[in-house]
Amino acid sequence: MTGPWIGGLTVRRTDHGQTPIADHLCTRCGHHTRVTGRQRVTDYIRSNPIADHRAACPALKKGTTA
């Protein structure tokens, strides 16, 4: 995946022999999580971090629009 990253969840380096990296960025509050390692990335994605963060995001809790 190339081009500007406007937030959300991305996974890079998923080729065989590489260590996958998952990044989750919330553009509303600036929260960033990085997970590395095939098993950890798999578990992290399976845990649905975007929905999880939406429930906890301080910016969303303030009721900020847009």
Q: Does 11 bind Zn ion (CB under 5 A)?
A: no
Task: Report helix, strand or coil for 1.
Answer: coil
Q: Does 12 bind Zn ion (CB under 5 A)?
A: no
Q: Which two tokens stand for residue 11?
A: 């996974």
Residue window 13-42: x/- pattern of binding to Zn ion, with contact defined by CB under 5 A: -------------x-xx-x-----------
Supply the DSSP string of 12-40, one letter for each residue. Answer: E--STTS--EEEEE-TTT--EEEEESHHH
Q: How near is the Cβ of 5 to Zn ion at its closest, in Å?
A: 15
Q: Does 9 bind Zn ion (CB under 5 A)?
A: no
